Amino acid sequence: MADASKPVDLFSQQEANRRRSRWLVAGFVFFFAWLGLGGDWLAWQFTRNAPPAAYHHGFPLIGLAMFFLGFGLVAYIRKTGADKVLWSSGAWQLLEPVTPEQKTLDNVVQEMAIASGLPKPTIWIVDDPDPNAFTTGNDAAHAHIAVTTGLLAALDRDELEAVIGHEMGHVKNLDTELMTMVAGLVGATALISNGLGRVLFSGVRIGGGGGGGGGGRSSKNNLGPLVLVVLAIWLVSWILAPIITRMMALGISRDREYLADAMSAQFTRNPASLASALEKIEQADSPTTSIQAGVAHLCIADPLGRRMSSAEGFLGDLLATHPPMAIRVARLKAMGYQAQKAAGNFQAS
């Protein structure tokens, strides 16, 4: 559960997200550099006692390649991350609203863009019966809001307006850039890790390979415990890389959801509508099958089933993509009660 004593105002949240984005990029690049330089050191250890005619690894080519690969992936994700997220969900862009539901959605997005003081995002629809919504993009000028057909069918206009206000809150808080970057890094790391795993388990060997048995035995006999320890850590790093990046996605502070809820209440002046919308989303029977695990943290509610997001305490903070829905609803209802109370006192006076 979020610490009520922590500042959650807009400017502190924006600065925190900028800081997290910088640390995320730096950590990703240096993690790739470690994987490369670790491979260089191990290759040097395995080949330094090889026969003179065999290959001897000296120049840190793997480390440099992995370092620049990390930078290249970050640049590529910044450029194409939002497109990949939308593509992975099967979303299609709403260009000309036709149905009454589509026209209402277009009007609501326009109203919330005006209320938030931001450019109108492009609108996307995901053909999925489970009610959900997410936002992606690198900045407010290139933001995208996607909603499922199930959300359009389940919510009334005020509830839809509140959900769109929540997503616009993410855009204004600079959550969207951070969450899109994490989604891209999760996918890229999993792809690279799987590729290396296939190479390792297919029998590819580091070193001179085909030399006589004496050369191979001499190399093995000269391997000290440090080499074995580094080799184990290096292999485990590759194996755990997708898990580590996934944990980064899950570990993004869940305070961002509370702040986006609060900003929706600010934009709409109607926190009760978001509370009602979240209750309807929570009561949906099945997960959102169109949205993959790597982008689950982008959604207004966990699209993969909500059991972990219902957990409180350390386990929930560690593994859940979203705070408990019951707490979010309770906070919004409390906001509505306080607003009604203040309005009543004002009228009475």
State pLDDT tens for residues 97-142.
999 999 999 999 999 999 999 999 999 999 999 999 999 998 899 9
Q: What is the number of H-type helices and E-type strands within the chain?
A: 12, 4
Model confidence at 173, pLDDT cuts 50, 70, 90, reads confident
For the question of residue 279 being annotated catalytic, the response is: no
Give DSSP secondary structure letters for 314-325. Answer: HHHHHH-SS--H
pLDDT digit string, tens, across residues 51-70: 888 888 888 888 888 888 88
Q: What is the pLDDT of residue 332?
A: 92
Token reading at 130: 């489970």
State the average pLDDT over residues 216-242.
72
Percent of the chain at pLDDT above 90?
31
Model confidence at 178, pLDDT cuts 50, 70, 90, reads confident
pLDDT digit string, tens, across residues 145-167: 999 999 999 999 999 999 999 99
Token reading at 29: 């690049």
CB atoms within 10 A of CB 341: 10
pLDDT digit string, tens, across residues 232-274: 888 888 777 777 766 666 656 566 788 899 999 999 999 999 9
State the average pLDDT over residues 219-242.
75
Q: Is 118 helix (H, G, I), strand (E, B) or coil?
A: coil
State the average pLDDT over residues 309-318.
54
Query: What whole-number distance in Å separates Cα of residue 168 and Cα of residue 220?
Result: 59
The answer on pLDDT for 2 being more than 50 is: no
Burial of 257 (0-12, 13-18, 19+ CB in 10 A): buried
Instruction: Name the most confidently modeled range: 141-150, 181-190, 310-319.
Output: 141-150
More confident residue, 166 or 319: 166
pLDDT digit string, tens, across residues 7-62: 445 567 667 767 777 777 777 788 888 888 888 888 888 888 888 888 888 888 88
Half-sphere exposure in the Cβ direction for 108 (13 Å, CA): 27
Query: What whole-number distance in Å separates Cα of residue 253 and Cα of residue 256?
Result: 6
Half-sphere exposure in the Cβ direction for 14 (13 Å, CA): 10
State the average pLDDT over residues 290-311.
72
The answer on pLDDT for 348 being more than 90 is: no
More confident residue, 266 or 290: 266
Q: For residues 161 and 145, is the Cβ–Cβ distance under 8 A?
A: no
Q: What is the pLDDT of residue 145?
A: 97
The answer on pLDDT for 308 being more than 70 is: no
Helices 61-89 and 10-47 sit at what angle, rounded to 10 degrees? Answer: 130
pLDDT digit string, tens, across residues 66-98: 888 888 888 888 888 899 899 989 999 999 999
Token reading at 214: 């004496």
Identify the active-site residue in 167, 177, 257, 282. 167
64-78 residues labelled b (16+ CB within 10 A) or e (exposed): eebbebbeebbeebb
Q: Is 53 helix (H, G, I), strand (E, B) or coil?
A: coil
Q: For residues 37 and 60, is the Cβ–Cβ distance under 8 A?
A: yes
Query: What whole-number distance in Å separates Cα of residue 277 and Cα of residue 261?
Result: 11
Model confidence at 199, pLDDT cuts 50, 70, 90, reads low
Please state the pTM of the whole predicted model: 0.74
